[in-house]
Structure 1
Amino acid sequence: MASLVSVERASLALGTAQVLDGVSLGVNGGDRIGVVGRNGGGKTTLLRVLAGTREPDDGRVARTGGLRVGVLTQDDSLEATATVHASVLGGMAEHEWAADPRIRDVLVGLLGGLDAPVVGGMDATVGPLSGGERRRVALAALLVAAPDLLLLDEPTNHLDVEGVAWLAQHLAGSFARPDTGLVVITHDRWFLDAVATRTWEVDSGLVHQYEGGYAAYVLAKAERDRLAGVIAERRGNLLRKELAWLRRGPPARTSKPKFRIDAANALIADEPPPRDDVELMRFATNRLGKDVVDLVDARLTVGDRVLLDRFTWRLAPGERVGLVGVNGAGKSTLLRALAGQVPLAAGKRTVGVTVKVAFLTQEVRELDAWASRRVIEAVEDVRSVVRFGKKDLTASQLAQRLGFTGPRQQTRVGDLSGGERRRLQLTRLLMDEPNVLLLDEPTNDLDIETLTSLEDLLDGWAGTLVVVSHDRYLLERVCDRQLALLGDGRLRELPGGVEEYLRLRRDLVDRGEGVRDVPGAETPGTGASPPAPTTGAAAPSPAELREARKVMARVEKQLARLAQREDRIHAAMAEAATDHERVLGLNRELREVVDEREGLELEWLEAAEITG
């Protein structure tokens, strides 16, 4: 494969920290590379070096001539006064982008469709959009532009489970060609496994390279540690425990990683299961009794909008539940209802006598009061010793397991990064020894190493757990049961897990009854009601909208089949270049395909006008 970017012995220091230390690596055509490592370890700096926006102090970076590079940073550079349409499609003519299935796929996958309900419409101004909405627009613009080398810094932030699945599929398909490359920084391990063919780990100024996605990286790293003689206690090694779960789980979790099965089996031969469910259930029942939290015949609303109606949910001792759903479906509100922070519009909430609830919200403002204190003081203020399973952990030991090493425990809380503040929130919650734990997007701002440590802690935690997360890997790793909010007023059981949820969502969209996100829905912590509908020309009826969406879905499938047929005709014409009669016949067939495509595109545009 042709080299797109090559880095030779690059070194770069930021202040007193050596971020890159004599690093040599390259991105070749066809590469899809996932970048992992601790927060602050140099991942974003490496991406900037590849993009050419940051020059190394020493070493050389070479790029192929004429290489088109696209970069998604964590701070977008969108023009505040521009519209969503101008930001994503630029000056492209309507017939040009509307006739391109790839561009239509991006508009539907990231913005909800032609009318872009997720960001308030294609004519909405970028300036007032939220950070998550601006990020979707910036990502959509990059994917529409289709650069030769795409560099993405945490692209799954602000995407729901469905959006992450769509993005993984789109990137794996669009960057499979030998003249394109993809480098993506991500802490989403399912996404990493679904997209990456290689993994780079940035650690202490070096970049370790592995073949395959997350599952292969876990094995290779564990094997490297073993060969280096750094494993002191086999059963205490988190990587081996993670590998044991990966190998014992359903095959769909591993995406066929390229590692030696014999080596994996040898490493985990005597490794116990990551979680002893029977033992934990016994502990949980002893601590909680039979009654935990019950919502009976409940009705949950936000403003005038009904999120859930006449539903009953009885949490059991030791139960581990994952909640999934589109943004705005009511997941955070349901957690607050379980915690007793939001009143029910109808029905009743009952709580067991011995229940002690801890609720991790998406806000970190609660730590502002500790801004001038040290991390270890903020933890010890809750408790000095905590019981986890059969072990007692001191405040310092628990903080260390969640990434606060000795020196970092002496850091002032006000100086912590967003990810570190999130870790401190979790540490304080766990130190309080709750027996019911409600976690709202616990993976926000956490790196993979911290996530693995958190999952290891939760493996030995005896209590009832409810997790709202877009991190599919975390849900499968720590939860035994998944429930979905699809925006239809019901709480649905998902025996097939996240895969079943995605299938249900696809069915809703195909029937014209679902959108990517719920526009105007609640924002976590605000409970705001949806905006009132605007007045103007008579809007199409719901039945007309459903029919138009069905037409658009049908036409898009037909256009995709026609595109495949057109490719086959072109290939046949190339093979029969010396057969004049054969070429004439193929040319007539090609004209028929073009005529049919033009008719379908017109039908699609007419339906699109109805949907807005």
Structure 2
Amino acid sequence: MAHLLGAESLSVAFVTRTILDNVSLGLEAGDRIGVVGRNGDGKSTLMRLLAQRSAPDSGRVTKRRDVSVGYLDQSDVLDGDLEVGRAIVGDQADHEWASNPKIRDVMGGLVSEVDWHAKVSSLSGGQKRRVALAKLLIADDDVIMLDEPTNHLDVEGVAWLARHLQQRWRPTEGGMLVVTHDRWFLDEVCNHTWEVHDAVVDDFDGGYAAYVLARAERDRMASVVESKRVQLVKKELAWLRRGAPARTAKPKFRIEAANELIADVPEPRDSLALSKMAMSRLGKDVLDLEDVSLRIEDAEGAERTLFDKITLRLAPGQRLGLVGVNGSGKTTLLRLLNGELQPSSGKFKRGKTVQTAVLSQEVRELDDVGDRRVIEVIEAEKRVFAVGGKEVSASQLVEQLGFTNEKQWTRVSELSGGERRRLQLLRLLVGEPNVLMLDEPTNDLDTDTLSAIEDVLDGWPGTLVVVSHDRYLLERVTDTQMALLGDGKLRDLPGGVDQYLELRNAAGPLTATGSAASPAVSGGSAGTTSEAELRQARKDLTRIERQITKVDAQKDKTQKQMDDAGARPDADFEHIKSLNARLQELQAEIGDLEGQWMEAAEVLGE
């Protein structure tokens, strides 16, 4: 493969520590590289150096003379005085860019809802981010570097971007470098992973799933990484091997070694035990919305219906993930559940023992304690906390979520955005709520911190509601998903996020071209399976496996209910009969899903 660019002996040091120390690496044609590491370890610094946007203290970056590099920074670099259209396509006339299917696809995927004639300065932060990304993607750069491209994108936008990057070049052409905390996205688009840590860069084959496996093996064999971090990595590995996201890009190598490594790792959470604990803390009633409608005023002062007779009943210990299009009311739904808003019509019922806590997107709740230190904020709430059936001190819990002994004595006002989010989540948890609502909790967090938060949530026995565009997080910490589709309705998603994307695609075209989001692959001969068909088959396997797991759990639950009912002296035979009928329905559904699984596996030759 052709060499695109490289780095020789890069070193960068700040006042207090070394960020990169004698790092050498290269980017070849066909490389799709995800960059991971803890916040502050130098991911963005490395990308800026490779893009030649900053200079190292020593070493050099080289690239072929004919190689062009497109770079998406985290900061706002657009001219605020320009209109959106001109900021993206420059001086091109409408008929010029509109005749280019690639540009139309980018427009439809990223900025279809942005006013074409609005000044860039009038846009929200998320809209500016989409405009900047669109401007980058319509160019024909040989290498593109993306620093947190999924920030401000919803689930649909992230899925579109993944498709675009998968289809942007032929497999042996182009190069990509991406810094992101979105683990699903890393697995979808990357064939290599660079981990930046301790001033060095380690290279791993494959996306995030392969990286977790390789890192767990590295840590075990080297025996140099602290035991807590190893356990977190092993637990993450157990999830990847056992759980729903059997990722399409996950290489099926060293499976026996992986199984041996996680043989003694428990399941991420005991749902039955947690449900029983939640029942004891919450009682039968939690939060109920029944036939609730909500009418609001839009920016022009006109009234519109945001929710139209929706019903949502949260059960003790339920773990619910919410997805939806921008403006569909996800955050507003959390405010209704928290009692901050009253519905226009319908009923809202709150259990007597319910104690809610909400992690907001802005985390402004910490503004009042800006002059206090991290450990002081937590200890003011509580000094001892129960995690997974064990008691830990406030200091231990703070350390578990990435605050070292030194960081624990940092003033809140000096924390980064990701650190503030971690601290506020801890503050909420130590208050021991029994209903926890998280609004886009992954913003500004690295993958290690996300794993630590998921580990804490695994042992938390209350009712959990998560609004997020992070598919990996939703599948990891929630057991059921629902969607707001922008039509005022709330929809169950037994098929998870994949079903949501199917519903959105069926509701209308996702691109400005008016065509389906995934273009048909032509040119294949009869009897030949196209790459598109293979990708779809892999996705179908993942979706069907998740559905089988859920239906099988329902079957086991129904079987137990039937056994318990039959063991009673005053057995209700009509009830037993209805349970048996339900059992037969579930068994038939499993049989149908297994048939679908076999069809998808046959396409893949498995």
- TM-score range normalised by the length of the shorter chain: 0.7 to 0.9
2:353 equivalent to 1:354 = yes
**2:602 corresponding residue in structure 1:** none
Deviation at residue 130 of structure 1 after TM alignment: 1.2
> 1:379-423, CA deviations, whole angstroms, 9 ceiling, x for partnerless residues?
111111122231112111111111111100000111111111111
Conservation of the 8 A alpha-carbon contact between 2:328 and 2:488: no
Conservation of the 8 A alpha-carbon contact between 1:386 and 1:432: no
Paired residues for 1:341-380 under 5 Å: 341-380=340-379
The 3 A distance-change label for structure 1 pair 14 and 335 is: same
Paired residues for 1:61-140 under 5 Å: 61-112=61-112, 118-120=113-115, 122-140=116-134
Paired residues for 1:309-458 under 5 Å: 309-458=308-457
Query: TM-score of the superposition, structure 2-length normalised?
Result: 0.83
SS at the partner of 2:508?
helix
The 3 A distance-change label for structure 1 pair 554 and 31 is: closer
Q: Distance in 2 between matches of 1:400 and 1:455?
A: 15
The amino acid across from 2:15 in the alignment is G
Deviation at residue 556 of structure 1 after TM alignment: 9.8
**2:175 corresponding residue in structure 1:** 181
**2:205 corresponding residue in structure 1:** 211
Deviation at residue 252 of structure 1 after TM alignment: 4.2
**1:504 corresponding residue in structure 2:** 503
The match for 2:157 among 163, 166, 169 is 163
The aligned length equals: 519
**2:514 corresponding residue in structure 1:** 553
Q: Distance in 1 between matches of 2:72 and 2:502?
A: 29
SS at the partner of 2:22?
strand
Q: Distance in 2 between matches of 1:555 and 1:420?
A: 40
SS at the partner of 1:81?
coil
RMSD of equivalent CA atoms: 2.0
Deviation at residue 353 of structure 1 after TM alignment: 1.4
Runs of 4+ deviating beyond 6 Å? none
> 1:190-225, CA deviations, whole angstroms, 9 ceiling, x for partnerless residues?
000001100011111111110000000000000000
Q: Distance in 2 between matches of 1:56 and 1:233?
A: 34
Deviation at residue 34 of structure 1 after TM alignment: 0.3
Q: Distance in 2 between matches of 1:460 and 1:175?
A: 43
SS at the partner of 1:127?
helix
Q: Distance in 1 between matches of 2:274 and 2:128?
A: 43
SS at the partner of 1:257?
coil
**1:292 corresponding residue in structure 2:** 286
**1:150 corresponding residue in structure 2:** 144
Q: Distance in 1 between matches of 2:445 and 2:46?
A: 19
2:270 equivalent to 1:276 = yes
Conservation of the 8 A alpha-carbon contact between 1:101 and 1:556: no
> 1:24-79, CA deviations, whole angstroms, 9 ceiling, x for partnerless residues?
11111110000011111111110111011111111121111121111100113211
Paired residues for 1:224-243 under 5 Å: 224-230=218-224, 237-243=231-237
The amino acid across from 1:240 in the alignment is K
Q: Distance in 1 between matches of 2:165 and 2:220?
A: 34
**1:36 corresponding residue in structure 2:** 36
Q: Distance in 1 between matches of 2:126 and 2:325?
A: 14
Deviation at residue 333 of structure 1 after TM alignment: 0.2
Q: Distance in 1 between matches of 2:186 and 2:159?
A: 11
Q: Distance in 2 between matches of 1:18 and 1:399?
A: 25
Q: Distance in 2 between matches of 1:155 and 1:79?
A: 19
> 1:292-331, CA deviations, whole angstroms, 9 ceiling, x for partnerless residues?
1111221123222211122221110000000000111000
| Gap runs ≥5 in structure 2 | 298-302, 525-606
The share of aligned pairs that are identical, in percent, is 58
Q: Distance in 1 between matches of 2:205 and 2:319?
A: 33
Q: Distance in 2 between matches of 1:67 and 1:236?
A: 40
Deviation at residue 178 of structure 1 after TM alignment: 2.9
Conservation of the 8 A alpha-carbon contact between 1:323 and 1:482: yes
Q: Distance in 2 between matches of 1:262 and 1:554?
A: 44
Conservation of the 8 A alpha-carbon contact between 1:419 and 1:444: yes
The 3 A distance-change label for structure 1 pair 416 and 59 is: same
The amino acid across from 1:323 in the alignment is L
Q: Distance in 1 between matches of 2:481 and 2:22?
A: 46
Q: Distance in 2 between matches of 1:146 and 1:207?
A: 28
Query: TM-score of the superposition, structure 1-length normalised?
Result: 0.82
**1:4 corresponding residue in structure 2:** 4
Deviation at residue 182 of structure 1 after TM alignment: 0.3
Q: Which segment drifts farther, 267-276 or 444-453?
A: 267-276
SS at the partner of 1:403?
coil
The 3 A distance-change label for structure 1 pair 439 and 259 is: same
The amino acid across from 2:202 in the alignment is H
Q: Distance in 1 between matches of 2:331 and 2:85?
A: 31
Conservation of the 8 A alpha-carbon contact between 2:359 and 2:438: yes
The 3 A distance-change label for structure 1 pair 556 and 10 is: closer
> 1:141-172, CA deviations, whole angstroms, 9 ceiling, x for partnerless residues?
10001211101100000000000001011011
Q: Distance in 2 between matches of 1:555 and 1:408?
A: 49
The 3 A distance-change label for structure 1 pair 4 and 236 is: closer
Q: Distance in 2 between matches of 1:473 and 1:199?
A: 17
The 3 A distance-change label for structure 1 pair 145 and 236 is: closer
Deviation at residue 235 of structure 1 after TM alignment: 11
The amino acid across from 2:14 in the alignment is L
**2:240 corresponding residue in structure 1:** 246
The amino acid across from 2:439 in the alignment is D
Deviation at residue 232 of structure 1 after TM alignment: 7.2
Deviation at residue 177 of structure 1 after TM alignment: 4.5
The amino acid across from 1:129 in the alignment is L
The 3 A distance-change label for structure 1 pair 486 and 457 is: same
Q: Distance in 2 between matches of 1:237 and 1:146?
A: 44
Q: Distance in 2 between matches of 1:499 and 1:224?
A: 33
Q: Distance in 1 between matches of 2:307 and 2:89?
A: 38
